[in-house]
Chains A and B, each alone.
Chain A
Amino acid sequence: MTDLSSKPPGHKRWATFLYGRPGLRLALLLAIPVVWLVGVYGGSLASLLVQSFYRLNPFSGTLERVFSFDTWAAVFTDANVAVMIRTVTMAAAVTVASVVIAFPLAYYMARYATSRMKALLVLAVLVPLWSSYLVRVYSWKLILAADGIINWFVERIGADAVLQALLDAPGIGGPSLSISIFGQFVVFTYIWLPYMVLPIHASLERVPRSLLEASADLGAQPATTFRKVTWPMAIPGVAAGSIFTFSLTLGDYIIPTIIGDSSPFIGLAIYTQQGVAGNLPLAAAFSFVPIAVMTVYLTVARRFGAFEAL
């Protein structure tokens, strides 16, 4: 009888070879992705930091590759701080509105929808989340236009005065709906809403029915059950959704370009600096503002259990 155990098979068994060498296997798997992600993407983020310490020559406007704090000082002018405050306020308003609008749908999906219905509703929320961001923004240009459907409808029901009062309101108004802050707010909310529905739905799914029954059995009114049981358990989902609505509003420049009175937001300021103004260092430095805001936001959201609900 021949001893097979000590004799390697004739052909190379590279799978067996690699199986005994997890380190090598890992290196082969990761070599290209790591070069791409850490090299290209990580390198790009690092170059952003480097770029922010370069400056434009104040007289010739040409890029000077010397280390300086001039660009960073230019980020925190009064005008730019106003831009930051406006953006963060809008992000907060959009987040609150998204929670209010998303909650009933998420609640219905989690508690009452049959499984077939639920699949359909999830699809109905996913499609706008994944598709045609730009076209969805554009659709509001048609709706809010001066001769568009809203004005047509308002005229029909004779509510011109109400609309005019809204447009005259300081801080949220404007000459017409499509160039008003209010219009901008509606579009932001519309665009990011799906990002709020899904996490709230996911966290409400995890509320056991028995818990709600127990609360009712112990004599709580439906409103009390909602306030003391359902809402606290939905908070991680709300926090997770708010990460998206907040972060996406902070960086967006498409909506402020198409809708609104073209007063700058952080995203728009970055975009303008790198494009029209040709000041890439300032754009780079400015882009650390949303990163800083989001870092703070994520730290807070984490405390509310947002990461477990993502």
Chain B
Amino acid sequence: MRKAGWGLKTAAALTLLFLHIPILFVFLYAFTTDEASFRFPPPGYTTEWFSLAFSRTDIRAAVSLSLRVALVATMVALVLGTLVAAAVWRTRFFGRNALSLFIILPIALPGIITGIALRSAINLAEISFSFWTLVVGHATFCVAITYNNVIARMRRTSPNILEASMDLGARGWQTFRHVLFPQLAPAMLVGAMLAFALSFDEIIVTTFTAGNQQTLPIWIFSSLVRPRNRPVTNVVAVFVVLITLVPIILAQRYSRRSDEA
């Protein structure tokens, strides 16, 4: 194989740097002693903002809400996505294509459309905003992720193994527990981790379904629009990056390993 020319290598490297350098500044500024501006280079370094951020009750409440919404929405999306994938897998039925389009729609359309549509329905049905309106909003776009992961796995699974299992005398539950579930579990886990990461820092659909509740992204956004306590905002931003990074890296490693197996 020919080696890549230096021009191509440089351009590719620059693109990579462009993708990754900016986020590092958030980490840098989390340690600056400068409270009021974004001065570069920072006049000094400190870790005091971390303890300050962790002692703030409003931040704790926002973290807790975001975690709970992400967990419940992920579980709902996992169940719904797996059910639809199971239905679409081996059967042709009226509306099958429409259904698979419908699942993708919440992430194919700009987030603001999903958001304003839910907001409009909430308004027309005179429902009050709650934890559950947030869960419904998040689960709706998370289904696309879990469905895609599970269906991709199913397409690589032969339905014959189910028939073989039943021919060998396994009951429905046994077939599911010992044959089908082990096949699907990795894809379900990957889908769930990605859905969690997506939900945890989602802001657009969240804004329209939250009312006056504060998830962590809403907290960050409002402190960006009305700058106040900048150092604490930087710390929270670092926290969001780290917490969404973990499931994404795990998901990627896990899906690679299960593909190779």
Chain A residues packing against B (C-beta within 8 Å) = 11, 13-16, 18-19, 22, 26, 29-30, 32-34, 36-38, 40-45, 47-48, 50-51, 101-102, 104-105, 107-109, 111-112, 119, 121-128, 130-136, 138-143, 145, 147-149, 152, 190, 193-194, 197, 247-248, 250-254, 257-258, 267, 270-271, 274, 280, 283-284, 287, 290-291, 294
Contacts and interface: CB of A to CB of B under 8 A. Distances in A.
A138 B220 contact: yes
Interface stretch (B67-75, B114-122, B150-158): B114-122
Contacts of A270: 112, 116
Contact of B244 (A32, A45, A47, A132): A132
Given A37-B102, A267-B110, 19 more contacts: A18-B172, A26-B87, A33-B80, A40-B136, A47-B120, A47-B121, A123-B252, A124-B19, A125-B19, A127-B249, A128-B19, A134-B203, A135-B220, A135-B240, A190-B22, A267-B112, A271-B207, A274-B119, A284-B120
Interface of B: 1, 3-4, 8-9, 11-12, 14-16, 18-20, 22-26, 29, 37-41, 79-80, 83-84, 86-87, 91, 93, 99, 102-103, 105-106, 108-114, 116-121, 123-125, 136, 139-140, 143, 166, 171-173, 175, 194, 197-198, 201-204, 207-208, 217, 220-221, 224-225, 233, 237, 240-241, 244-245, 248-249, 252, 256
B77 to A, nearest CB: 10
Most buried by A among B20, B119, B233: B119
B19 A138 contact: no
Contact of A287 (B1, B14, B112): B112
Contact of B12 (A26, A45, A108, A141): A108
Contacts of A124: 16, 19-20
Contacts of A29: 83-84, 86-87
B198 A130 contact: yes
